[in-house]
């Protein structure tokens, strides 16, 4: 018996393909990879804090997140 994984879900984007991502307050709490991304080819999910300047980077992949609003 096989189990459906997110690798087969075409509605999800591939994880860690962008180097800079703009996020909004509706995306908080912020995680990398984000919930709308496939996990099968990504690093473990980590939660990130945007700090006072609204900018953060993932310690695994280096993706740079900028809070847009």
User: Rounded mean pLDDT of 13-33?
Assistant: 83
* More confident of the two residues 44 and 39: 44
* Residue 29 scores a pLDDT above 90: yes
When the pLDDT of each residue in the chain is averaged and rounded to a whole number, the result is 81
* More confident of the two residues 8 and 56: 56
Residue 65 pLDDT: 94
pTM of the full structure: 0.71
d(CA 20, CA 4): 30
Alpha-carbon dihedral angle through residues 45, 46, 51, 53, given to the nearest 10 degrees: -40
Fill in the DSSP letter of residue 28.
P
């Amino acid at each position: 018996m096989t189990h459906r994984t997110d690798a087969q879900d075409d509605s999800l984007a591939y994880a860690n393909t962008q180097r800079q991502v703009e996020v909004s307050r509706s995306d908080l709490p912020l995680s990398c990879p984000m919930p709308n991304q496939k996990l099968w080819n990504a690093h473990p999910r980590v939660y990130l804090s945007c700090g006072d300047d609204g900018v953060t980077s993932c310690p695994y992949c280096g993706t740079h997140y900028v809070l847009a609003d």
